[in-house]
Amino acid sequence: MRATANNGGYRDRRSMKHVLDNVHGYIYLDPLFLQFIDTEQFQRLRDLKQLGLTHMVYPGAAHSRFEHSLGVYWLAGEAVNKVNFYQGQELGIEEFDRNTVKLAGLLHDIGHGPFSHMFEREFLPRVLDGYEWSHEDMSLKMIDYIVDKHCIDIDSAILKTAKEMILASSEHGPQKSMTEKHFLYDIVANGRTEIDVDKFDYIVRDSRACGIGSGFQFERLMETMRVMDDEICYRANEYLTLHKLFATRADLHRTVYTHPKVKAIELMVVDALCYANADLGIAASIQKPSEFWKLDDSILKWIETSDSDSPSLKEAKNLIQRIRKRDLYQYCNQFSVPKDKLENFKDITPQDIICSQKSGGVTLKEEDVAVSTVKIDLTHGRMNPLERINFFKDYDSSEKFRIPDDRISHLLPRFFQDRIVRVYAKKPELVEAVAEAFENYQVKTYGCKAQVHATPDKKKARKQLEYQYQTDRQ
State how far the Cα of 126 lies from the Cα of 439, in Å rounded to an integer. 27
* pTM metric for this prediction: 0.93
Confidence band (pLDDT; 50, 70, 90) for 339? very high
**Residue 359 has what pLDDT?**
76
Q: Please say if the pLDDT value at position 13 is more than 60.
A: yes
What is the predicted pLDDT for the residue at 3?
Answer: 43
- Give the pLDDT of residue 463: 55
**How does pLDDT run across 401-431, given as a tens digit for each residue?**
999 988 888 888 888 999 999 999 999 999 9
pLDDT given at position 318: 97
Res 191: pLDDT:
92
pLDDT attached to residue 1: 33
Q: How many residues does the chain have?
A: 474
pLDDT in the model for residue 464: 58
Query: Which letter, b or e, does each residue of 230-258 get, where b requires 16 or more Cβ atoms within 10 Å of its Cβ?
Result: eebbbbeebbebbbbbbbbbbbbbeebbb
**Known active-site residue 135:** yes
- Highest average pLDDT, of 129-138, 216-225, 359-368, comes from 216-225
Among 345, 411, 427, 428, residue whose Cα is nearest residue 382: 345
Q: Which member of 55, 68, 112, 135 is catalytic? A: 135
Average pLDDT, the chain: 92
Predicted confidence at residue 2, as pLDDT, reads 39
Any bridge partners for residue 422, and if so which? 334, 372
Q: Which of 64-73, 126-135, 385-394 has the lowest mean pLDDT?
A: 126-135
User: What separation in angstroms does the CA of 458 have from each of 107, 434, 463, 464?
Assistant: 49, 15, 8, 10
In percent, the amount of the chain with pLDDT more than 70 equals 94
pLDDT digits (tens, 9 = 90+) for 275-300: 999 999 999 999 999 999 999 999 99
From the list 67, 60, 79, the residue with the least C-alpha distance to 27 is 67
